[in-house]
């Protein structure tokens, strides 16, 4: 009987994948609006703040399959809706993020967001503070304190889980 050859490892090296260039941070300081998408939004389950290379990120996560409509803009004053009471928000410029179609959680919902309602972390360079103000008649209002001035931002949705994301460009 003659021996049979068994295939061995390839002697040809596999080329390294070509890096995909990171898309530019396309944003400005103009108000940003987005329409609701994908069905019921549900209730807020989390707010996160993080620092990334070149930008700071605020994430609002929801229990439902849909994402809420949003209106994000710079405002001169941080005033709670509907009370009209002023909020003291740290920063030199203030983004107001209003998210529409947000529900109140059922009593005892284990994943319902219960704070902290004021977020700040030392690693962010442009977002100084995030204050979740209120949920009233399906609208959730949040203020984002930005420093050293109004900086370009962008808002967009992510799915699975449902999220609305606000990125703020870091000052040079």
* pLDDT at 2 exceeding the cut of 70: no
Q: At 135, is the pLDDT very low, low, confident or very high (cuts 50, 70, 90)?
A: confident
Please give the Cα distance from 103 to 74 (Å, whole number): 25
5 is a domain residue: no
pTM of the model: 0.84
C-beta atoms surrounding 117 within 10 Å: 13
Taking only the tens place, the pLDDT of each residue in 50-79 is 999 999 999 999 999 999 999 999 999 999
* pLDDT at 82 exceeding the cut of 90: no
Partners of residue 48 on adjacent β-strands: 59
18 is a domain residue: no
Q: What is the pLDDT of residue 10?
A: 46
Q: At 6, is the pLDDT very low, low, confident or very high (cuts 50, 70, 90)?
A: very low
61 is a domain residue: yes
27 is a domain residue: no
Residue corresponding to tokens 């410029």: 93
**Domain housing 49:** 32-169
Please give the Cα distance from 62 to 13 (Å, whole number): 46
C-beta atoms surrounding 91 within 10 Å: 21
Run of H or E including 61: strand 55-62
Are 100 and 135 spatial neighbours (Cβ–Cβ below 8 Å)?
no
Residue corresponding to tokens 């003659």: 2
Four-residue CA torsion sign, 28, 33, 36, 42: positive
- If DSSP codes are grouped into helix, strand and coil, which group holds residue 54? coil
Report the CATH number that the domain containing residue 50 is assigned in CATH.
2.60.40.3500
Q: At 12, is the pLDDT very low, low, confident or very high (cuts 50, 70, 90)?
A: low
Please give the Cα distance from 161 to 68 (Å, whole number): 13
Are 51 and 165 spatial neighbours (Cβ–Cβ below 8 Å)?
no
103 is a domain residue: yes
Are 107 and 93 spatial neighbours (Cβ–Cβ below 8 Å)?
no
Number of domains the chain contains: 1
């Amino acid at each position: 009987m003659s021996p049979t050859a068994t295939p061995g490892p390839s002697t040809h090296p596999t080329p390294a994948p070509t890096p995909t260039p990171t898309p530019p941070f396309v944003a400005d300081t103009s108000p940003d609006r987005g329409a609701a998408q994908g069905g019921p939004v549900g209730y807020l389950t989390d707010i996160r703040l993080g620092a990334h290379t070149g930008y700071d990120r605020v994430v609002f996560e929801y229990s439902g399959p849909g994402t809420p409509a949003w209106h994000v803009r710079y405002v001169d004053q941080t005033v709670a809706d509907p009370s009209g009471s002023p909020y003291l928000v740290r920063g030199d410029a203030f983004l107001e993020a209003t998210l529409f179609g947000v529900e109140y959680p059922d009593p005892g919902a284990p994943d319902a967001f219960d704070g902290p309602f004021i977020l700040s972390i030392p690693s962010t360079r442009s977002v100084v503070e995030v204050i979740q103000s209120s949920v009233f008649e399906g609208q959730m209002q949040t203020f984002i304190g930005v420093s050293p001035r109004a900086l370009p931002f962008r808002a967009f949705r992510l799915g699975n889980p449902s999220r609305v994301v606000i990125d703020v460009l870091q000052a040079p």
